[in-house]
């Protein structure tokens, strides 16, 4: 299986390191979930992986190329083969939903207007927003905005898609439909996804593998079955929704660092 994304000894953070020794690989056609408590640095890691926040040390390899060692134009080329849906939807407020989704096509391809329109229509249908082209992002609900953002992130049919909390704060039905869309992306379009979420039902529904972040590092990684069986306190807490694991006294260090 080919590797699409790899982090090597990555240290990321803003001024001080937030996550250290991050080593992970993501292969083709899989959905990898990043799990971790609020504020543990999931979005920060994603920003580093998507080229927005240079790492403090270590490397990010996307499609085998070291992202931060490339010249800006080459890095942009590489990023165009990925798509990112942000935690805040980050739709362009001054453009309609259709224009938002069409933007990458308009800017980065030479496709004719009529084809762009058709592709936007198809993609919006796929995320359940058929007919919403001319609405402004402010005229959508939170869940609809997230889905529009997902449509924009995948409009160029990228091989690798990053989603930050696609179903956070949504009702279970909409959340489930987003999960279903993500799985559809993997199965029908062959897209590889890296998804941040802490909705445990979503993890069970979509993830092939999960990476658990806690205490400023990767504390566990594996298939969902492996993690479900784990007794490591941070992992157990997540999968069984308990504040502290029953059998295993975590060190105070990990707890406090996990929640700060």
Partner 1 sequence: MPPELATSVERDGRAAVVRLEGDLVVPTARALYTQLQDIARRRDVRSIVIDFARVGRIDSSGVAAVSLVGQQAKRSGRTLELRELGEHHRAAFAMSPRKVEEPPAEPPPTSFEALGDSMIATWDGAKALTSIVKDTTYQGVLVAGRRKQLPAGSVASQLFEMGFNGLFIVSLLAFLIGMTMGFQGVTQLERFGAGVFVADMLGLSMVRELAPLMTAIIITGRTGAAIAAELGTMKVRSEIDALATMGIDPNRFLILPRLLAITIAGPALTLIAMFVGMLGGMLVTSLALDLPAIAYWGRIAESVTLGDFAHGLIKAVLFSWIIAISGSHFGMRATGDPSSVGHATTRTVVVSVLSIILVDAAFATITTIAGGGP
CB of 127 to partner 1, least distance (A): 17
In angstroms, the CA 121 to CA 15 distance is 43
CB of 230 to partner 1, least distance (A): 29
Q: Which stretch binds ligand ATP (CB under 6 A): 35-43, 123-131, 169-177, 250-258?
A: 35-43
Task: Quote the crossing angle between the two packed helices 113-126 and 142-153, to the nearest 10°.
Answer: 130
77 binds, among ligand ATP, partner 1, Mg ion, none (CB under 5 to 8 A by kind): partner 1
Q: Which two tokens stand for residue 149?
A: 């953002």
Query: Which residues contact partner 1 (rule: CB under 8 A)?
Result: 47, 50-52, 72, 75-80, 82-84, 86, 88, 90-93, 103-104, 106-108, 152, 162, 260
Q: Which residue's CB atom is positioned nearest to ligand ATP?
A: 43
The stretches of 33-141 forming alpha helices (DSSP H) are 42-49, 72-79, 97-108, 113-126
In angstroms, the CA 20 to CA 9 distance is 7
161 binds, among ligand ATP, Mg ion, partner 1, none (CB under 5 to 8 A by kind): none
66 contributes a contact to Mg ion by CB under 5 A: no
What backbone torsions phi and psi does residue 51 show, to the nearest 5 degrees?
A: 85, 10
Single out the residue of 4, 24, 40, 170 in contact with ligand ATP (rule: CB under 6 A).
40
18 binds, among partner 1, Mg ion, ligand ATP, none (CB under 5 to 8 A by kind): ligand ATP
Q: Is 32 helix (H, G, I), strand (E, B) or coil?
A: strand
41 contributes a contact to ligand ATP by CB under 6 A: yes
Q: Is 128 exposed, middle or buried (0-12, 13-18, 19+ CB in 10 A)?
A: middle
Cβ atoms within 10 A of the Cβ of 180, count? 13
Residue with tokens 């040390």: 57
> Where do contacts with ligand ATP occur on this chain (CB under 6 A)?
14, 18, 36, 38-44, 87
């Amino acid at each position: 299986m080919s590797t699409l994304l790899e982090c090597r000894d990555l240290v990321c953070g803003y001024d001080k390191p937030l996550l250290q020794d991050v080593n992970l690989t993501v292969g083709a056609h899989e959905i990898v979930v990043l799990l971790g408590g609020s504020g543990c640095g999931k979005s920060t890691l994603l920003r580093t992986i998507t080229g927005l926040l240079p790492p403090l040390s270590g490397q990010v390899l996307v499609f085998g190329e070291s992202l931060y060692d490339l010249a800006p134009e080459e890095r942009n080329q590489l990023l165009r083969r990925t798509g990112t849906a942000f935690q805040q939807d980050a739709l362009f407020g001054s453009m309609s939903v259709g224009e938002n989704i069409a933007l990458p096509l308009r800017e980065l391809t030479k496709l004719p207007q009529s084809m762009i329109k058709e592709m936007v229509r198809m993609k919006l249908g796929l995320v359940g927003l058929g007919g919403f082209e001319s609405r402004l992002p402010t005229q959508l609900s939170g869940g609809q905005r997230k889905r529009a953002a997902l449509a924009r992130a995948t409009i160029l049919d990228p091989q690798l898609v990053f989603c930050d909390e696609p179903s956070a704060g949504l009702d279970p039905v909409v959340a489930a439909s987003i999960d279903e869309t993500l799985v559809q992306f993997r199965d029908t379009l062959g897209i590889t996804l890296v998804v941040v979420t802490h909705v445990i039902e979503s993890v069970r529904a979509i993830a092939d593998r999960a990476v658990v972040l806690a205490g400023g590092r990767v504390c566990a990684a594996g298939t969902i079955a492996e993690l479900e069986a784990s007794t490591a306190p941070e992992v157990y807490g997540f999968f069984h929704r308990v504040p502290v694991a029953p059998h295993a006294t975590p060190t105070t260090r990990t707890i406090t660092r996990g929640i700060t």
